Amino acid sequence: MTRATVPDHPPTFWGLVEQRAASTPDLVMVQDDRNRSLTFGELPRRAEEVAAGLFALGITPGSVVSWQIPTNIEAVIVIAAVARLDAVQNPIIPIMREREVRYITNEANSDVVIVPSVFRGFDHRSMLEAIATERGFLVLDYDDGLPLGDPSALPPHPAYTDPTQLPARWLYHTSGSTADPKGVWHTDASVMAGSYGVVAGYAPTSDDVYPIAFPFAHIGGVAMMVASLLTGFRIVLLEVFDAERSPLVMAGFNPTFLGSALPFFQAYMAAQRKHGPEPLFPRLRSCVGGGAPNSPELHREVQEVLGGRGVCSSWGLTEFPIATAPSMEDTDEQLTTTEGRLSPGAEIRVRRPDGTDCRPGEEGELCLRGKQLFQRYANAALMEDAFDERGFFRTGDLGTVIESGHVKVTGRLKDVIIRNAENISATEIEDVLHGHPKIGDVAVIGVPDPRTGERCCAVVKLADDVESLTLTDIADYCRSVGLANQKIPEQLEVVDDIPRNPMGKIRKQELRDRFAR
């Protein structure tokens, strides 16, 4: 199977912005759901005006610009402006609140924080102004307008030539449910390399359109922005995803890709069914999965209802974005059972607990190194166990690499249920239960058991119009599809919704804390 090549590009993010502007200045790069648009040629002009405004406020190379901006054009402009200044950008996901934002701005040592005044009913400006009284940073409310200045006052952008010598200029924070967010430092080179899998696997062109409703402050936002700059495809930004309205808004842009997790895919299919037999997304090539594993059943349903290649899932982490990506030429079996093949420049090893290499097809911890690899954690103590003895980053994910080079992610090291000293993959059971006609969504967790050590608990959201589900129903179904007895759930909890983070990952620790008893 062939994979697209990554176009040559400058070593810095700002250099890539200028390169694309010179190549296709009149091509639309980004639109939003407020009838605004920005061409590739307009982006550097707008960004330099904002960069000059920030420069006049004292922001210089190495200054830290934190921003908590929804998925809109302002985010794109701010990213490019901060890159032009060679300052540090510290994106903060909009759902984060006072405790997390205080921790992040303190760890980042923020000089300025850019926020909306009020977003989705929450007063971000007041929150940041309260934190700023402790930290002393400047708060900018972009609803009052981004700061503007004369670009001629800007110093030249540094002429970096060696990608391996770039300073760390991106500080992302992973979201967790029980600990402080982990600060992850990247360089321009490692952030841009996170887009190589998108380009190689999906092979987008200037004819492609990808609506985005996930938080642009997530590292996946800049990955798609870089992929757009590399290939010329258009992104469409939606500040808020509404299951009823957003699919119809997206359809108006005639998209070729849709993302990015189970709740989104369910909304697209519901909109298509309501719309009738005529395709709502006639140009759809694929639904782009990422952030959480998708079940084979979901892939087949998406393919049947929406068309295209179904769900094409990639795998990565904030520390190593888009480590793998599928190919549009992959078979249905490869798309339903794997997360694609390694992105260009990435290496993988599958490691046993004793540190030795697994045999081909043997499950172990997936460890990575390559161009996408982050530089360091903000908290140096986290580096102690982050790498193996050969310099591979220990992802904490379990999986295998099959003969074709495709990577299967089977679960998390901490997501293994140990029952009677036998390891049980929660992901395997989730894949089975997703096929149950009464189940709309499911998470499988291990909870303490005085007799077996842990027992398998299925946390279930019922499918629409389903009123009840019993543990016997689940056990009978599991046996009917051939699941081993020791893997059949012993506890059932029915909930209104499965808690997920903005990228669709299930907040399993939250469920463990709730249902362990």
Segment 419-446, tens digit of pLDDT: 776 668 788 899 899 999 999 999 999 9
Within-domain flag for 172? yes
pLDDT of residue 205: 97
pLDDT of residue 424: 81
| φ, ψ of residue 274 in degrees (nearest 5) | -70, -30
Within-domain flag for 462? yes
Percent of the chain with pLDDT over 90: 79
Helix (H, G, I), strand (E, B) or coil at 291: coil
- For residue 175, name the pLDDT band (cuts at 50, 70, 90): low
Return the higher-pLDDT residue of 294 and 413: 413
- For residue 178, name the pLDDT band (cuts at 50, 70, 90): very low
- Contact call for residues 205 and 29 (beta carbons, < 8 A): no
What is the number of domains present in the chain? 2
11: Cβ–Cβ under 8 A, 6 or more apart, which residues? Answer: 160, 161, 162, 163, 166, 188, 189
CB atoms within 10 A of CB 230: 21
Within-domain flag for 234? no
| φ, ψ of residue 415 in degrees (nearest 5) | -105, 10
Last residue in a domain, options 192, 221, 249: 192
Measured at the CA of 455, the angle between CA 452 and CA 461, to 5 degrees, comes to 170
Within-domain flag for 47? yes
Last residue in a domain, options 153, 175, 192: 192
pLDDT of residue 255: 98
Last residue in a domain, options 134, 161, 192: 192
- What the block records as the tokens of 64 is 């830290």
pLDDT of residue 177: 35
Within-domain flag for 105? yes
pLDDT of residue 457: 95
154: buried, middle or exposed (CB in 10 Å: 19+, 13-18, 0-12)? middle
- What the block records as the tokens of 141 is 């409310």
Check whether 489 has a pLDDT greater than 70.
Answer: yes
Check whether 345 has a pLDDT greater than 50.
Answer: yes
Q: How far apart are CA 517 and CA 512, in angstroms?
A: 9
Check whether 42 has a pLDDT greater than 60.
Answer: yes
Looking at 136-207, list the stretches that DSSP marks H as alpha helix, in order from N- to C-terminal side. 188-193, 196-202
What is the full DSSP assignment across 105-134? HHHHT-SEEEE-SEETTEEHHHHHHHHHHH
In terms of Cα–Cα distance, which of 136, 124, 159, 133 is closest to 58?
Answer: 136
- In SS3 terms, 318-367 reads as CCEEEEEECCCCCCHHHHHHCCCEECCCEEEEEECCCCCECCCCCCEEEE
Return the higher-pLDDT residue of 419 and 3: 419
Pick from 99-108, 135-144, 190-199, 451-460: least confident: 451-460
Q: Supply the CATH number for residue 113's domain.
A: 3.40.50.980
The per-residue pLDDT for range 239-282, each reduced to its tens digit, is 999 999 999 999 999 999 999 888 899 999 999 999 999 999 99
- The average pLDDT across 348-363 equals 93
Q: Supply the CATH number for residue 429's domain.
A: 3.30.300.30
Check whether 324 has a pLDDT greater than 70.
Answer: yes
pLDDT of residue 50: 98
Check whether 293 has a pLDDT greater than 70.
Answer: no
In terms of Cα–Cα distance, which of 249, 285, 289 is closest to 266?
Answer: 289
- Contact call for residues 326 and 201 (beta carbons, < 8 A): yes
Check whether 2 has a pLDDT greater than 70.
Answer: no
Q: What mean pLDDT value characterizes the chain?
A: 92
- Contact call for residues 204 and 213 (beta carbons, < 8 A): no
- The average pLDDT across 23-38 equals 96
Within-domain flag for 504? yes
Pick from 207-216, 359-368, 399-408, 426-435: least confident: 426-435
- What the block records as the tokens of 67 is 């921003």
Within-domain flag for 505? yes
- The average pLDDT across 32-45 equals 96
Within-domain flag for 383? no
In terms of Cα–Cα distance, which of 467, 477, 354, 335 is closest to 407?
Answer: 335
pLDDT of residue 504: 73
Alpha-carbon distances, residue 369 vs 121, 248, 346, 366 (angstroms): 42, 40, 6, 10
Pick from 285-294, 341-350, 451-460: least confident: 285-294
Structural domain of residue 76, as residue ranges?
Answer: 13-192
- The average pLDDT across 6-23 equals 96
pLDDT of residue 326: 95
